[in-house]
Amino acid sequence: MNSAPRDKHSGIAIACSVGGFKSVFLHGVLAAFEEGGFRAEAYAAASSSVLPAAFAAVGKTRELGLKHWIDGLQIIEERGRGMSDLVLAGIEKAAPVVSNLLFKDQSPRFLIAASAVDPEGQEETQGKGARRLGRLLLLAAARGDRSWIDEHLILQLFDSRSTGESLLLTADNLREVAYASSRMLHAWDIPAWIGGRPYVDAFYRCACPALEVAELGFTMVIAISNEPVLYKDIFQSEVIQPIYDGVPIEIIGPDIDPAEMGVSYTTATADSLAEVFRHGNEKGRTYLERTFQNGPTPG
């Protein structure tokens, strides 16, 4: 596949799902794609998949490496540090590497999903009661109660090719957008803002931006899931289907939940991270071998 877009609405897009530490699986898939010379014309990501997807878009997935996840694990094992510290440290280390390449004209289109908060929800999400609200939203999602999320959150896609300034993804706002996309209220202490507006994790509205990318006119979407079933959002009541509005969506996921291998959203070990990464790498290689029997055209 040619890494430079033929035009902004054509070709194959890769959409990457949320997952916390489980996203080490999709990192393995993306590394296999890079090793096989396959690069898509667009990459879309949500939450913990943002950095692996960004590195894939600029052809440096292997440079990010398993060390990215092990470094994060070491951060949250330090007393007094948590998920916000983990994400911000990863962004600070990664952003300088990708920012110089991600926004060049010849680079693939890059999109990040995040949930915008309306003015009425600002204090609840950015103030002292955010953790409590986050726990309540997890319980509400388990019950299928969408009321608060539907009332206060709007899914938005920040896009390196956006024609609207408010949703244009740039080197200047990449850090803000990457952090905001990952902020689950129950475990992230530091508020998230993009251009002065409050945001929270994409997961509340979108687990994987596959459907949203399909609507942009791509001929096919490869959706990489970090769990065996790819749900539309946090409610896990709607499964993403292999066709959406006439656009094929090919889903790559693990054979078993990474939690069974020792990797959950917020906990892992160095050995379990390596195991899940290898599993993702194998699934990525298998996909390329099955789909491109003669091998993809290098990007």
Neighbours of 152 (CB within 10 A): 21
Q: What is the pLDDT of residue 81?
A: 87
Span 4-62, pLDDT tens digits = 333 333 499 999 999 999 999 999 999 999 999 999 999 999 999 999 999 999 999 98
CB 173 within 8 A of CB 194: yes
The domain locations on the chain are 12-291
Class of CATH domain 12-291: alpha beta
Whole-angstrom Cα Rg for the chain: 18
Q: Which runs of E-coded beta strand occur in the chain?
A: 12-16, 42-46, 109-117, 153-159, 192-194, 197-200, 220-224, 243-244, 247-252
Q: Report CA 293 to chain centroid distance, whole Å.
A: 28
**Spans of the chain, pLDDT less than 50:** 1-10, 295, 297-299
- Pairing relation of β-strands 109-117 and 243-244? unpaired
Q: What is the pLDDT of residue 258?
A: 98
Q: What is the pLDDT of residue 299?
A: 44
Span 241-258, pLDDT tens digits = 999 999 999 999 999 999
Q: What is the pLDDT of residue 293?
A: 61
The whole-angstrom separation of Cα 39 and Cα 37 is 7
Closest of 148, 114, 145, 112 to residue 130, by C-alpha: 148
Could you tell me which residues come within 8 angstroms of residue 7 by beta carbon, excluding any fewer than 6 positions away? none
CB 155 within 8 A of CB 202: yes
Q: What is the pLDDT of residue 244?
A: 96
Q: What is the pLDDT of residue 79?
A: 82
Q: What is the pLDDT of residue 2?
A: 35
CB 205 within 8 A of CB 99: no
Q: What is the pLDDT of residue 8?
A: 32
Q: What is the pLDDT of residue 74?
A: 93
Could you tell me which residues come within 8 angstroms of residue 96 by beta carbon, excluding any fewer than 6 positions away? none
CB 140 within 8 A of CB 132: no
